[in-house]
Amino acid sequence: GQQVMQIPQYQHVQEGEDFTTYCNSSTTLSNIQWYKQRPGGHPVFLIQLVKSGEVKKQKRLTFQFGEAKKNSSLHITATQTTDVGTYFCVEDSNYQLIWGAGTKLIIKP
């Protein structure tokens, strides 16, 4: 069936370093949504990308949707401890939601 591959599974960074997570699909995505889930919490909707080549920013977070609408990325500049959590990409396609496995951002002590 349809799949959204998300990598990496984990990323360890020093506070202040950048972080990026990528999602890829073999099929054209109708849209892509990003969620953040803090440890012990529930996933929080961050953004939805719909247009080919779309780039959206939320403070230190930059979201991109590929020109072919087959990939997307989330980039965090200068990570902070409040960024810790798991970031999920989700495709909302054909009346079903297809979730990436999530990328866990871990700040090294």
Partner 1 sequence: GAVVSQHPSWVICKSGTSVKIECRSLDFQATTMFWYRQFPKQSLMLMATSNEGSKATYEQGVEKDKFLINHASLTLSTLTVTSAHPEDSSFYICSASRDRNYEQYFGPGTRLTVT
Contacts with partner 1, residue ranges (CB under 8 A): 33, 35, 41-45, 48, 88, 92, 95-97, 99-102
DSSP percent split of the chain into helix, strand, coil, nearest 5: 5, 55, 45
3-state class (DSSP) for residue 83: helix
- Cβ proximity to partner 1: between 14 and 94 the closer is 94
Give me the least distance between CB of 78 and partner 1, in Å please.
Answer: 27
- Cβ proximity to partner 1: between 15 and 45 the closer is 45
Spatial distance between the Cα atoms of 76 and 57, rounded to a whole number of angstroms: 10
DSSP letters, 40-70, are TS-EEEEEEE-STT-EEEETTEEEEE-TTSS
Give me the least distance between CB of 13 and partner 1, in Å please.
Answer: 19
Give me the least distance between CB of 12 and partner 1, in Å please.
Answer: 16
